[in-house]
Amino acid sequence: MCPPSPHTGKDSPMLPKGLLVTDPHGQEFLLVPEERGAAAGYTLSVLQRHDDQWIRLEPHASRRLRESMLGALLEFFGNLCRILNHNSDGTHRIKKHAPSTRSQPPRTTTGKLREPS
């Protein structure tokens, strides 16, 4: 159940507006998906906060910044998974996608090669 909205007083879902990231100097950036039109699909835009206003950065100038922000997003999800795994009761852990070695019986060898038949 979602918390009541302060604007309507009713239960309403929270909607993400973008990814907020702060650089080492305290500057805030917002990564937002934006629709470019029917044929072009979506793009990721970077906004930078200047004097309490969000200013859109030019795509060619913000390419490396977008990549760093996506890296921060992946790091956030990795941390979130670790926290969820640590806080779970053990029966609902997020499992790694590694094949189970228990499903195959161990092979035994005698050290001798068979002759071809």
pTM tops 0.75, yes or no: no
> Is 55 or 100 the better-scoring residue by pLDDT?
55
Using pLDDT thresholds of 50, 70 and 90, give the confidence band for residue 94.
Answer: low
CB contact burial 39-59 (16+ within 10 A = b; e otherwise): eeeeeebbbbeeeeeeeeeee
